[in-house]
Amino acid sequence: MATTAMAGQQIEMMGARRETTSRAQSLAERNRTLFEAQKKARRGPTPEVFFTKHIDNSRIVKADDPERRREMRQFTGVMSVLFLLVMVYVWQHFTAIEIGYHVEAQKQQVEQLREENRQLRLSEAQLTDPGRIDRIAKQLGLDAPQPGQVVRSEGGDPNAPVVAQAGAPTVSLQ
């Protein structure tokens, strides 16, 4: 629509010029006047005319470019190697952090076990104190063992059970 209006203005201007000027006008001057008339008719540096054109590219087949394919394969290979290197670095970094946490947890556990061991040794020392054992024995009404009353196992494990044996009573004449 805008194109039709501009063309109509140009034809009208051309007709008016032809009537007023002589036929001897040079071609260059006529072009100059047409160009200036077009400039006046325009709003900006270019005319605002838009046409819609439907293009069907479904039948177009892209030509195979072996050089481009080679470049893309090289690019893909380089990017894959770079990605692999970055992933290995990230994996090592996070593994080192995780191992650091495990080491700290193990150090805390070792310290806890050392403290528990110290407490157990202290408790063992208190429980095996001969004076304490003697006081508890006297409170229970126990006396020191008489000679021959304690039987020790020969040569075996001191914690192994001992079978009791009855022997003939001994008579002493003193």
- Tens digit of each residue's pLDDT (9 = 90 or more) over 10-68: 666 666 555 554 544 578 888 888 888 877 776 666 656 667 888 888 888 888 899 99
Q: Which pairs from 50-54 meet CB under 8 Å and 24+ separation?
A: none
End-to-end C-alpha distance for the chain, whole angstroms: 151
User: Which residue stretches of 24-129 are H helix?
Assistant: 27-41, 66-127
Lookup: tokens for 12: 């009208």
CA dist 174 and 168 (Å) reads: 19
The distance of Cα 87 from the centroid of its chain, to the nearest Å, equals 10
pLDDT-based confidence at 110, cuts 50/70/90? very high
| Structural domain spans, the chain | 1-58, 66-139
Entry pTM: 0.39
